[in-house]
Amino acid sequence: MLPDTVLDDGRVEELRTARALLRNWADDDLQPFAEMCADPLVMAHFPAPLSRAESHATVARVRAHFVEHGYGLWAVEIDGGFAGWTGLSWSEVTGTRELEIGWRLARAYWGRGLATEAAGTALAYGLQQVSRIVSFSAVTNERLWRVMERIGMRREREFAHPREDLPERLRRQVLYVADRQTCRPHSVFAEPAQRPARGSSPGATRRVQGAQPMDG
Ligand SMILES: CC(C)(COP(=O)(O)OP(=O)(O)OC[C@H]1O[C@@H](n2cnc3c(N)ncnc32)[C@H](O)[C@@H]1OP(=O)(O)O)[C@@H](O)C(=O)NCCC(=O)NCCS
């Protein structure tokens, strides 16, 4: 089991890469998240774009995951703006309860290596805690495979998504895995900083600093 990564005072651990901050969700993220999830291109490999209500409900679930586990799908902030999400969530889609890594960025942030950079850091974080992490998507989502391969995951198998109401184009899924023994996520993730003494710096947030920019 993952240790409790909520800090002693209840704050969520944040991760920092060369260009991105993976942080807890803020109410101001709701609007740009809803806009991202209404974009048909971003949602091309999902059943449909999300309505505003569906998008808000998704964020509520993500926040509940943080409350329960202390980690989750972090909000990704780039240059002070909300760019999307990446991170970890428990899933049973493969038939086993496994920790899944996922990512979704607004279109303006594609093509810059940001998903790879942020997800590589989340993967390294996760593999410090559990020995196996999975990711999956419709077999047609080639852009996604490339991220999975760049962060060091390997293709394991194809499987049928258990949701029978999914459109045919999404039923066939490809599963990628990363395991602690063989996966070496790129080194944008440093060892966690020393936990600050409780109450030593009020208002400060513990952050994990990336060691170096990604290189590909
Ligand atoms: C999946 C997703 C996050 C990938 O975004 P992406 O921009 O393709 O991925 P990256 O951020 O890793 O960027 C890689 C691209 O940036 C380019 N790039 C530019 N600068 C780079 C750098 N410094 N480092 C690495 N790549 C860089 C790469 O060449 C690559 O381009 P290519 O795909 O044309 O070869 C994005 O497509 C998305 O949000 N899709 C919708 C949501 C989705 O399907 N999520 C998964 C659902 S399960």
Pairing of strands 14-16, 20-23: antiparallel
Query: What are 44-72's pLDDT values in tens digits?
Result: 999 999 999 999 999 999 999 988 888 89
Distance CA 78, CA 154 (A): 28
Distance CA 127, CA 31 (A): 32
The mean of the pLDDT values for the chain is 83
pLDDT of amino acid 69: 86
The answer to whether 15 touches 121, Cβ cutoff 8 Å, is yes
Ligand 1 centroid to 58 CA: how many Å? 22
Distances from the Cα of 145 to the Cα of 28, 95, 114, 138, 151, angstroms: 31, 21, 15, 10, 10
CATH code, 14-207 = 3.40.630.30
Query: What are 164-190's pLDDT values in tens digits?
Result: 888 898 999 999 999 998 887 764 443
Q: Is 22 in the pocket of ligand 1 (CB under 6 A)?
A: no
- Closest approach atom of ligand 1 to CA 118: 11
pLDDT of amino acid 128: 86
Residue ranges of the domains in the chain? 14-207
Q: Which residues in the chain show pLDDT less than 70?
A: 1-11, 186-216
Q: Is 104 in the pocket of ligand 1 (CB under 6 A)?
A: yes
The answer to whether 72 touches 23, Cβ cutoff 8 Å, is no
pLDDT of amino acid 91: 94
Q: Is 107 in the pocket of ligand 1 (CB under 6 A)?
A: no
Distance CA 102, CA 191 (A): 22
The answer to whether 207 touches 11, Cβ cutoff 8 Å, is no
Q: Where are the alpha helices (DSSP H) in 21-165?
A: 30-37, 52-69, 114-127, 142-150
Question: Quick one: what percent of the chain has pLDDT higher than 90?
Answer: 65
- DSSP H or E run through 168: helix 168-171
